[in-house]
Amino acid sequence: MGVTMKDIKELRSRTGAGVLDCKKALNEVDGDVEAAVEYLREKGMSDAAKKAGRIAAEGLVVLNITDDRKKGVLVEVNSETDFVAKNDQFKNLVSDITEHVLNSEAEDVEAVSEENWFKDESKTVNTVIKEAIAGIGENINLRRFDRYNTDGFLYGYIHLGGKIGVIVDFADDFSADKEQTAKDIAMHIAAINPEFLDRDSVSQKNIEKEKKIYKEQMLNEGKPEHIIDQIVEGKINKYYTQVCLLEQPFVRDDEKTVADVLKENDLEINSFTRFEIGEGIEKKEEDFAAEVEAVKNQ
């Protein structure tokens, strides 16, 4: 049976594989499109395994909150390059993964990856990601997510087209007059990157670590030992204003703290999550000329 352009086009639309790969697959199975789909899936799994070792530190942070603002999820999915992160196929995949996670009860990435895909229960989430790796040609990784269920309301913000994402759990009923303040708080979190909600959220281990650092600094500066503890306590108070959301100067009016703004608008925060794409991932330095040369020699 001959291979037609119609068959190649159909196979490409169903698998996302390249034209040459589709043609080769059809030739291998005598033009049988269904068999070619399986052939590419099998080949794709092999290719995906090779690509899975490559560093994926770009990608998208995506937000999904239900219309009633009671349930929501913030998800980070990584790709190897920013170019792929802007690709519609990748964007659609991330959107679908986020919807799946929103409606899942799995508590971590490993459990989600083993679940049946919400659009096709014959596949797992992991299978869908591997198929996307084969089609797109880069490693793709569901890195993390945070899911919220609240008696109050959720508000989210995505910055720089998916580079930074924030979700905030407010302990209040949602109303239109509170929306702008909720948005401003979410934008503040995106911009200033607080590590904790308040002083009570900071672990004793963190506090002791900071105290040790400050004490060493004072000793190195030759400060008298009998005043060092007092200086260190002052520095710890300053530390709280840097890392605790409620004590930070509000980004739109630094004469007020975030706590002041919340009080003025009759709002209270239960918790928040901020994801920045690729944070904590060691990125590989790319030699573009060497990469081009390697492709030429293939």
pLDDT at site 23: 85
Q: What is the mean pLDDT of the chain?
A: 88
Q: Please, where are the H alpha helices in 16-154?
A: 19-28, 33-51, 82-85, 88-102, 109-113, 125-136
Residue reference for tokens 């990601």: 129
Q: Are residues 217 and 245 in the same domain?
A: yes
- Say yes or no to pLDDT of 49 above 80: no
Higher pLDDT: 8 or 95? It is: 95
Residue 110 lies in a domain: yes
Share of the chain above pLDDT 90, in %: 62
Fill in the DSSP letter of residue 196.
Answer: B
The two structure tokens encoding residue 24: 């080769």
CA–CA gap between residue 51 and residue 282 (Å, rounded): 17
- Say yes or no to pLDDT of 282 above 90: no
Banded model confidence at residue 296, pLDDT cuts 50, 70, 90? very low
Q: Are residues 70 and 134 in the same domain?
A: yes
pLDDT at site 271: 98
Picking from 51, 113, 122, the residue whose alpha carbon sits closest to that of residue 77 is 113
Banded model confidence at residue 17, pLDDT cuts 50, 70, 90? low
Residue 296 lies in a domain: no
Average pLDDT over residues 202-225: 89
Q: Are residues 102 and 28 in the same domain?
A: no
pLDDT at site 284: 52
> What are the backbone angles phi and psi of residue 272, rounded to the nearest 5°?
-155, 160
Banded model confidence at residue 8, pLDDT cuts 50, 70, 90? confident
- Say yes or no to pLDDT of 283 above 70: no
- Say yes or no to pLDDT of 251 above 90: yes
Picking from 283, 269, 278, the residue whose alpha carbon sits closest to that of residue 76 is 278
Q: Are residues 89 and 122 in the same domain?
A: yes
Residue 30 lies in a domain: yes
Q: Are residues 211 and 253 in the same domain?
A: yes
Higher pLDDT: 259 or 55? It is: 259
CA–CA gap between residue 64 and residue 130 (Å, rounded): 23
pLDDT at site 44: 58
CATH of the domain at 232: 1.10.286.20
Higher pLDDT: 151 or 45? It is: 151
Q: Are residues 88 and 136 in the same domain?
A: yes
Is residue 210 a contact partner of residue 239, using CB atoms and an 8 Å limit? yes
Residue 251 lies in a domain: yes
Is residue 256 a contact partner of residue 210, using CB atoms and an 8 Å limit? no
Residue 283 lies in a domain: no
Fill in the DSSP letter of residue 105.
Answer: -
In this structure, of 170-179, 246-255, 256-265, 280-289, the range with the lowest mean pLDDT score is: 280-289
Average pLDDT over residues 265-277: 97
Please enumerate, as own/partner, the contacts of 235-238 that have beta carbons within 8 Å and a separation of 24 or more: 235/210, 236/207, 236/210, 236/211
pLDDT at site 288: 41
Q: pLDDT, tens digit, for every residue of 117-174?
A: 999 999 999 999 999 998 888 889 999 999 999 999 999 999 999 999 999 999 999 9
> Residue 116 forms beta bridges with which residues?
124
Residue 187 lies in a domain: no
Residue 58 lies in a domain: yes
Is residue 190 a contact partner of residue 159, using CB atoms and an 8 Å limit? yes
pLDDT at site 147: 98
Q: State how many domains the chain has.
A: 3
Residue reference for tokens 């159909």: 10
CATH of the domain at 131: 3.30.479.20
Average pLDDT over residues 200-214: 91
DSSP 3-state of 194: coil
Is residue 120 a contact partner of residue 89, using CB atoms and an 8 Å limit? no
- Say yes or no to pLDDT of 41 above 50: yes
CA–CA gap between residue 40 and residue 49 (Å, rounded): 14
> What are the backbone angles phi and psi of residue 114, rounded to the nearest 5°?
-90, -5
The two structure tokens encoding residue 238: 């300053």
Write down which residue in 109, 127, 149 finishes a domain: 149
In this structure, of 5-14, 55-64, 109-118, the range with the lowest mean pLDDT score is: 5-14
Fill in the DSSP letter of residue 280.
Answer: T
The two structure tokens encoding residue 256: 């007020």
Q: Are residues 65 and 131 in the same domain?
A: yes
Q: Which domain holds residue 72?
A: 54-149
pLDDT at site 52: 57
Q: Are residues 60 and 134 in the same domain?
A: yes
pLDDT at site 42: 65
Residue 205 lies in a domain: yes
Q: Are residues 84 and 129 in the same domain?
A: yes
Q: Are residues 112 and 34 in the same domain?
A: no
Average pLDDT over residues 223-251: 92
Write down which residue in 149, 167, 187 finishes a domain: 149
| pTM score of the predicted model | 0.76
pLDDT at site 65: 98
Q: Are residues 91 and 143 in the same domain?
A: yes
Picking from 144, 152, 145, the residue whose alpha carbon sits closest to that of residue 71 is 152
Average pLDDT over residues 86-95: 96
Q: Are residues 227 and 257 in the same domain?
A: yes
- Say yes or no to pLDDT of 206 above 80: yes
CATH of the domain at 12: 1.10.8.10
